[in-house]
């Protein structure tokens, strides 16, 4: 706000965003008065200890949760005002999600898992096949298409879930601790893939993590949360890679 | 989500836990089978009773006779349009033209000397209309029914056939029988003036009279029956020899009633003592009876019995339906249980689907489709199972009847409408059962579901 950057309208803008839970008599402020902007094409990391409210913020941005107060605008839409049906549409087309525990449907093959979002988007069967194959090729899993999640490694599962997240070509990728269940080398690979999407597909990325080094290495900007509040937005230099 | 994708996904979900969903579906199948078996038994018994009723010929027949002219038994009350009508040819044609009337036949019965192989027997001869062929008495007849409405043919009662040919009664079929009868020959209307024409009354110019001539007719024996048609309820059915009613009319065989008809005032031409009106369906009998009553004739039918019977079967069907539905009600609890369990088990999956873009409605439809698919599969399997049960009932009844020297009967019948209704009912029950689990699944909070490990 202070000085006009040459950005067009930001992709994400929250103003005084709050999400409270009532636990009996006490009120938990999971997200407390957060105002933040994320520009198109940015790669932002959201750092914080567990219980800091970073996941709740992510769920609000994903359209899985609704704010108690404040405004949350993504790609020109005020999420708080969307109907349940419109919110489902938003999740289908505007955002892609990656989770710590992969969240693939265990009874389905990788191909079917990647096809699933397109099923809800009512994409034709033929086109679904093609696009699922392309997405899996992109993450290097073309050979594992017919496997079930239980038959492949954690790293491969996370790749498959990345393929699922990008198959509907969303503008915003939300990654919730995507390396949390992986060893460091595999985590590294996944992060590289996410960076590749950010750079080649112009996909805006919000990475939620509690690993500061990872955030520093891959994100252009790191936000820090504590007790539901944004602590200090800090811009990290690309040079931080050398610090490792 | 598109319909065929929805169905695909639902059926693959069902296949994921084959045993549980299979057992639930089997529960529905048992429910449908018991419902179908019960209702089909009701339908079968009703058809059987209906067949027996119409076969007896008692419930689709109305006897018509003229009103008594003397007001002795009815005081001053004048029946209908005031003047008693005569049951003559005009009245008969009028009745024939009433809706739902199949035929109108006079009762033919006369005493005759019949000759067979030069031996004479005095027997009573009765007339039978073509519609009598449906009567149960002819179901197990030896030989055939009359080849045409006025064929020169005769059907014998078994007792007479035994008298005619003691050694081998059936051998008389195809042989010749001579009946002797009195022909009524009308006198020409222009008879020279008798004593009565000077009266100058209303009926004066159309005098009616006849002479009687003795005649013989050769008939071919076509069949032998054991029982009296119409259960012996009509006087014409208690005879030894039966000839086509139309033949008797063509031959102008004199009836006892001709004498009384000739002596009555106002009678011009032939009159009938009574007419038998056959209607197309026992349910139509009341309407026809009312219409004939309005014409000024007395009517009689055994209607109330069939109405009571129909009421009995409606109640029987209701009870059979309730008992049959009980099993299906239990099965519907099975569906609810299975789907509620599935919602709990697939919490995470539901959360994932919502996170990647499934709407509440998509999730609801998915569980609905699973319930409906189980209903469809259970319904079809239930119909097959019900058919097997029905076949067993028919088989068992057949053996029982055979052991008691009775002819086999079909007591279990599942018409197509009942099968279609049973399957549709299974689907509807399943969908209603799926209502609550599907709503529960749709309302699941994805954030909670994904956090749950």
DSSP B114: E
Mean per-residue pLDDT for B224-229? 85
Within 8 A of A101 by CB-CB distance, chain B residues are 453
List Cβ neighbours of B122 (8 Å cut-off, separation of 6 or more). Answer: B111, B112, B113, B114
pLDDT attached to residue A233: 54
Ranking A4-13, A98-107, B362-371, B395-404 by mean pLDDT, the lowest is A4-13
Q: Which of A149-158, A228-237, B151-160, B254-263 ranks highest by mean pLDDT?
A: A149-158
A residues 89..148 contacting B (CB < 8 A)? 89, 91-93, 97, 99, 101, 103-105, 107, 116-117, 119-122, 125
pLDDT, tens digit, 9 for 90 and up, residues B110-136: 888 888 888 888 888 888 888 788 777
Global ipTM: 0.88
- Flag whether residue B357 sits within 8 Å of chain A, measured between CB atoms: yes
Which of B1, B345, B357, B451 to mutate to probe the A interface, most A CBs <10 Å? B357
Smallest CA–CA distance from A106 into chain B, residue:
B349
Ranking B41-45, B234-238, B311-315, B385-389 by mean pLDDT, the lowest is B234-238
pLDDT attached to residue B373: 93
Kindly report the average pLDDT of chain B as a whole number: 81
CA distance B394 to B404: 15
pLDDT mean for each 10 residues of chain A (244 residues)? 56 94 88 93 92 91 94 93 93 93 93 94 93 94 94 95 94 94 92 93 93 91 91 53 42
Say if CB B320 and CB B418 are below 8 A apart: no
CA distance A10 to A61: 14
pLDDT attached to residue A32: 92
C-alpha B189: how far from chain center: 47
Question: Domain B60-73+83-105+271-301 has what CATH class?
Answer: alpha beta
pLDDT attached to residue B368: 92
pLDDT attached to residue B304: 56
DSSP for B125-173, written as a single string: EEEE-GGGGGSGGGTT-EE---SSTT-SEEEEEHHHHHHH-SS-GGGGT
Query: What is the longest distance spanned by two Cα atoms in chain A?
Result: 54
- Top-confidence residue, B166 or B242: B242
pLDDT attached to residue B195: 45
The arrangement of strands across the sheet holding B275-279 comes to B101-106, B275-279, B61-66, B297-300
Distances from the Cα of B306 to the Cαs of B57, B75, B274, in angstroms?
A: 12, 33, 23
Distances from the Cα of B135 to the Cαs of B56, B109, B132, B182, B236, in angstroms?
A: 6, 19, 5, 29, 14
Ranking B21-35, B205-219, B400-414 by mean pLDDT, the lowest is B205-219
Where are chain B's structural domains?
3-54+308-451, 60-73+83-105+271-301, 109-190+207-254
pLDDT attached to residue B260: 66
pLDDT attached to residue B263: 64
Say if CB B273 and CB B260 are below 8 A apart: yes
pLDDT attached to residue B376: 94
Interface A–B counts its CB contacts (< 8 A) at: 67
């Amino acid at each position: 706000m202070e000085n006009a950057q040459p950005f067009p309208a930001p992709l994400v803008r929250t103003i005084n965003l709050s999400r409270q839970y009532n636990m009996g008599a006490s009120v938990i402020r999971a997200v407390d008065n957060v105002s933040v902007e994320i520009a198109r094409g940015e790669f932002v990391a959201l750092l914080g200890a567990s219980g800091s409210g970073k996941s709740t913020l992510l769920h609000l941005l994903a359209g899985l949760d609704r704010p108690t107060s404040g405004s949350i605008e993504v790609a020109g839409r005020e999420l708080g005002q969307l109907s349940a049906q419109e919110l489902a549409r938003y999740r289908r087309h505007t955002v892609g999600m990656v989770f710590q525990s992969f969240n693939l449907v265990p009874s389905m093959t990788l191909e079917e898992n990647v096809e699933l979002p397109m099923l809800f988007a009512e994409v034709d069967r033929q086109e679904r096949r093609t696009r699922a194959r392309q997405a899996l090729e992109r993450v290097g899993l073309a050979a594992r298409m017919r496997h079930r999640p239980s038959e492949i490694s954690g790293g491969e599962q996370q790749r498959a879930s990345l393929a699922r997240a990008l198959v509907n070509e969303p503008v915003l990728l939300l990654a919730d601790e995507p390396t949390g269940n992986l060893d460091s080398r595999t985590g590294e690979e996944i992060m590289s893939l996410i960076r590749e999407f950010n750079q080649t597909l112009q996909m805006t990325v919000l990475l939620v993590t509690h690993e500061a080094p990872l955030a520093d290495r891959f994100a252009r900007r790191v936000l820090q949360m504590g007790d539901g509040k944004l602590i200090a937005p800090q811009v990290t230099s690309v040079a931080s890679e050398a610090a490792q | 989500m598109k319909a065929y994708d929805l169905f695909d996904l639902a059926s693959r979900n069902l296949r994921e836990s084959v045993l549980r969903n299979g057992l639930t579906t089997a529960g529905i199948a048992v429910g449908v089978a018991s419902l179908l078996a019960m209702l089909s038994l009701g339908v079968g018994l009703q058809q059987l009773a209906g067949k027996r009723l119409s076969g007896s010929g008692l419930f689709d027949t109305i006897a018509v006779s003229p009103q008594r002219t003397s007001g002795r038994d009815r005081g001053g009350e004048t029946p209908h349009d005031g003047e008693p009508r005569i049951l003559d040819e005009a009245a008969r044609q009028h009745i024939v033209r009433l809706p739902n009337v199949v035929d109108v036949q006079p009762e033919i019965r006369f005493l005759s000397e019949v000759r067979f192989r030069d031996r004479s027997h005095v027997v009573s001869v009765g007339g039978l209309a073509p519609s009598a062929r449906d009567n149960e008495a002819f179901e197990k007849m030896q030989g055939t029914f009359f080849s045409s409405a006025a064929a020169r043919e005769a059907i014998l009662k078994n007792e007479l056939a035994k008298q005619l040919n003691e050694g081998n009664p059936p051998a008389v079929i195809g042989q010749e029988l001579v009946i002797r009868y009195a022909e009524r020959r009308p006198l020409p209307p222009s008879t020279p003036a008798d004593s009565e024409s000077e009266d100058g009354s209303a009926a004066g110019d159309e005098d009616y009279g006849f002479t009687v001539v003795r005649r013989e007719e050769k008939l071919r024996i076509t069949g032998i029956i054991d029982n009296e048609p119409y259960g012996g309820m009509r006087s014409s059915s208690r005879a030894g020899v039966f000839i086509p009613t139309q033949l008797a009319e063509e031959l102008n065989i004199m009836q006892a009633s001709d004498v009384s008809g000739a002596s009555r005032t106002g009678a011009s031409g032939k009159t009938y003592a009574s007419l038998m009106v056959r209607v197309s369906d026992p349910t139509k009998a009341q309407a026809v009876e009312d219409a004939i009553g309005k014409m000024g004739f007395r009517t009689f039918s055994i209607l109330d019995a069939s109405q009571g019977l129909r009421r009995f079967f409606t109640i029987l069907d209701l009870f059979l339906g309730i008992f049959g539905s009980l099993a299906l009600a239990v099965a519907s609890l099975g569906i609810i249980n299975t789907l509620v369990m599935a919602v709990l088990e697939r919490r995470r999956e539901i959360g994932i689907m919502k996170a990647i873009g499934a709407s509440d409605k998509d999730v609801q439809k998915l569980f609905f489709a699973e319930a409906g698919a189980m209903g469809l599969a259970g319904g079809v399997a239930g119909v097959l199972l019900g058919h097997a049960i029905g076949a067993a009932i028919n088989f068992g009844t057949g053996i029982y009847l055979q052991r008691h020297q009775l002819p086999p009967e079909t007591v279990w019948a599942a018409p197509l409408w009942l099968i279609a209704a049973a399957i549709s009912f299974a689907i509807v029950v399943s969908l209603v059962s799926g209502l609550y689990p599907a709503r529960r699944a749709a309302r699941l909070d994805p954030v909670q579901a994904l956090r749950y490990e």
